[in-house]
Chain A
Amino acid sequence: MEQRAAHPLDVELLSYALGEADATFAAELDEHLGECLLCRIHLNRIRRGGLEMGRTVTPTLAYPQIASSVLGLVDDRRLSPAVQPGQLWLAGSPGRMLVWVEAVNESAGLATVLAATLDVGAADHTSLIVDSESLGREVAIFASIPGSIAVDRLEIFVDDTDRVADVAQLQARIEQSSGQTRSRRNKALRVGARISGASDERLEFRQMLADQLAELDPYNDDAEIDAEASGDESQFDPIRRMHDELASDLPARRAGLCEVRSLDYELLAGSYARALTVQPIATVHELDCVVLVVANTPSPAGFGFEAEDAYQLLLHSGADSLAVADAAEPHMTFIYERSVLRPAFELPSALERQQPRPLSRSQPLVQAVLEYLQRDVYPIEPDSEPDTVLFRRTEIDEFLRARALAAIDDLKQIRGTKGKHRALKALGPRDAAALEVAIATSITVHALLAQIEEITGQ
């Protein structure tokens, strides 16, 4: 609430512009306006075109009658009942929000509540619309916005809705909607229309309710976090740390061969929609090899964003390899080369396209980039036979071992239906074990192929 209160209301800006604000408030506003672009824009617009607000007689307007039942609710002398599940209350002060009590823990002095609103037009498919007799109007209860609140923050009792079972049914329905079928026994509930997409304003509305409820939570730590004005960590701080780690470690360990460069201004902004979730960190240059390092949440099954976006990032940065590092410590990193940065069929079954495969298993950021650079730049005098250089054992071993039996089954399925390769048809679990031993013991590709030939030829 504090950060919202820190911005003046439009009517307060008007009073400042008219010179009606008292000296203390005007001084506070002066200071705020020096820092706040949003308020400067609003004040600028208020002043533009003049301020013809000359004081004249206040017109008499014919206001509609406010229901006495509503006025009675906020009467200070009114006694409230004990807090019970199913009740509607107004919580917090001085700005109050409507909540529906789901459960009460008397010993802890806490209530589990759901956010509710009188703005029924903003209800979505997770909100149950109920009639409140005492208000003489509808109320929307958001089954998907729960919160915890101290019982003494429940200020004004509003109504007892007696809709506990309906809310429970709606909650069960929301949980099931992720894929399971709905029970036909459920009774029809009155709910709002489904949120139509990312541009639906009700997303913002929901978030406002959730934030308002969180501010009433006795264990809410947001206020403390927000109070750490200078010391808080933005989502970009880990990125800076990763950049600094690369810049300080890599050039030292590569004896001046490589250079870590900051990214272009435009690239930092990311690839407009999807790739804005990716945080480019730096490019690493060594001879003609350029590695783009980005932060995301990588996994062996893929790098967590679209291959097309990754390709675009490489094109924009001029890099030929992509290092995808986990933003969390210890920044485990996968490396991909541009030439294989696309979904591809995986042999031997070739049933469907698989995500791009990393060059090796993940390692901490600096180690991963270091090993890649060592691998990418060959020594002038080869120190071993080409076979051992080209055969990346760590890469193929793990894959083949895991896939040996499945690969045989796939081959049998495909070839078996065509009546060919009888030898393959005859392969069984024992052969898989033999293959596993062959993979583990073969030193070169030639040796491995010879052993496979022997096993499948038996």
Chain B
Amino acid sequence: VSALSELKAGTPSTAFTELLIKTVFAVAKAHGFPPPNRGHWNRSAAADVAAEFVAHQRTEKILEALVLTCGDDRALALTLQAVVRNFLRDRGRATEMGRLVVRINRALKAPCYKRLPGNRFALVDGSAEASTVSPDELVAATAGIRVTYPRWDPMSDRRPPFASKASIDELVRAVMAAACGSLRAADVTYAIAPALLVAAGNVLVELDEGDPPDTGSEIAGLQSLGMNIEDRERAFEIFGLLTTRQKIALGYLDDGVRKIGRRIGRGHSQAAVILGAAQTKLKEELMEEDNGQDIAQLVIQIARFWVEHRTDPDDGTYTAS
């Protein structure tokens, strides 16, 4: 009995579970997601995450979507890969939400707020009554605020801050003012999370973002590029922020989007979107740099070197022998 047959009969069982566990293991390793409980990826860890996925409140709708959209077992495996990847990303984001609550608690210790019984917070000169403002309106209060991000080394052991302190303080201030009453730290967190992009998005489609940082530092010769460029480290830092597909797109820039699309397993129009996203990243990261042009060109140079030397076809790490 195939996984799809089990699903269409409304009783996912052994075949579907096996496919799910293998998909979790393969996707988690191929895309560099951290294993649960600081352990390492093995069948047991993959089965734990599979069980977590099955217990998630969104899974009922996901299974229904799989039944509707998958016409054969490969189509099922393809969609399940996207679903699992998005689940692993959201799992990371869930942890991020917990971390954000801690950060917001810290911001609410500022003298302009008072702490009330029941772990609620209000403006010092504001009403202590529980806010009746809807969550959507609280989110809307953050819309006009420009969030800035401090520079961060993607290879750092520490996780990057959500945003600059000034941005977080301003977001919290806007939400507290809009609340016209007291809020819990968690309420404030959910209101400002969209502004910090700590939010769930698509479920059924696999998008490009979410690869682990990879600066290719183990590739011989890569680190000697751009020795004459001031702030050359910044180029390696930005290169590490690009997804694998974005790196390949920049590395094969001369090929045009049609050929790039074939290289990254996407249509040419999606390849253009992915290339555009890479360019936007460069622009956003470098627009305020004095020598942004030089750094951007070094990033492209690194990408060209990276695609030529990263895991070449004779690499013993991949050949079957």
Contacts and interface: CB of A to CB of B under 8 A. Distances in A.
Interface in B267-316: 267-270, 273-274, 276-277, 279-284, 286-287, 292-293, 296-297, 299-301, 307, 310-311, 313, 315
B257 A48 contact: no
Q: Which residue among B257, B279, B287 has the maximum number of chain A CB atoms within 10 Å of its CB?
A: B279
B75 interface: yes
A326 B79 CA distance: 43
A96 B205 contact: no
Nearest to B63: A66
B22 A64 contact: no
B62 to A, nearest CB: 9
A135 interface: yes
A53 B29 CA distance: 12
A45 B204 CA distance: 24
B50 interface: yes
B317 interface: yes
Contacts of B267: 3-4, 211, 222
A233 B258 CA distance: 9
A14 B244 contact: no
Interface stretch (A87-95, A250-258, A297-305, A435-443): A87-95
A18 B201 CA distance: 33
Nearest to A68: B10
A20 B36 CA distance: 26
A204 B27 contact: no
Interface residues of A, number: 101
A95 B70 contact: yes
A253 B234 CA distance: 47
A271 B7 CA distance: 52
B47 A11 contact: no
Nearest to A20: B22
B258 A14 contact: no
A268 B254 CA distance: 9
B74 interface: yes
B310 A59 contact: no
Contact of B264 (A14, A38, A97, A237): A38
Interface in B1-50: 7-12, 14, 17-19, 21-23, 25-27, 29-32, 40-43, 46-47, 50
Given A226-B262, A234-B258, A272-B283, A204 B208 contact: yes
Contact of A9 (B72, B81, B264): B81
Contacts of A73: 68
Nearest to B84: A10
A62 interface: yes
Contacts of B17: 58-61
Interface in A63-77: 63-68, 70-71, 73-74
A226 B64 CA distance: 33
A232 B261 CA distance: 13
A199 B262 contact: no
Contacts, number: 281
Contact of A37 (B29, B64, B253, B311): B311
A328 to B, nearest CB: 16
Contact of B22 (A43, A53, A60, A205): A53
B297 A272 contact: yes
Contacts of B315: 40, 44
Interface string B54-68: 110001110111011
Nearest to A53: B43
Given A9-B78, A71-B67, A122 B201 contact: yes
A45 B212 CA distance: 11
B61 to A, nearest CB: 6
B135 interface: no
A422 interface: no
Given A65-B60, A204-B270, A234-B259, A272 B68 contact: no
A70 B64 contact: yes
B92 interface: no
Interface stretch (A26-34, A355-363, A401-409): A26-34
Nearest to B314: A34
A109 interface: no
Contact of A46 (B10, B26, B40, B280): B26
A66 B265 contact: no
Given A14-B22, A52-B43, A236 B256 contact: yes
Contacts of B282: 272-273
Contact of B68 (A35, A52, A96, A201): A96
A151 interface: no
Contact of A11 (B19, B32, B320): B19
Contact of B50 (A30, A44, A61): A61
A122 B256 contact: no
Interface in B173-217: 200-205, 207-209
Interface in A107-138: 117-119, 121-122, 135, 137
B313 A122 contact: no
Given A10-B23, A74-B67, A234-B259, A199 B280 contact: yes
A3 B262 contact: yes
A17 to B, nearest CB: 9
A328 B293 CA distance: 28
B71 A26 contact: no
A266 B205 contact: no
Nearest to A309: B293
Contacts of B311: 37, 40-41, 44
Nearest to A52: B42
A46 B29 contact: yes
A93 B256 contact: no
A47 interface: yes
B266 interface: yes
Interface string A330-349: 00000000000000000000
Contact of B47 (A3, A6, A16, A59): A59
Given A38-B245, A46-B26, 6 more contacts: A9-B81, A58-B21, A70-B67, A121-B202, A235-B257, A272-B293
12 contacts: A4-B266, A19-B320, A30-B320, A49-B40, A59-B51, A66-B60, A95-B69, A203-B276, A207-B269, A226-B261, A226-B262, A268-B254
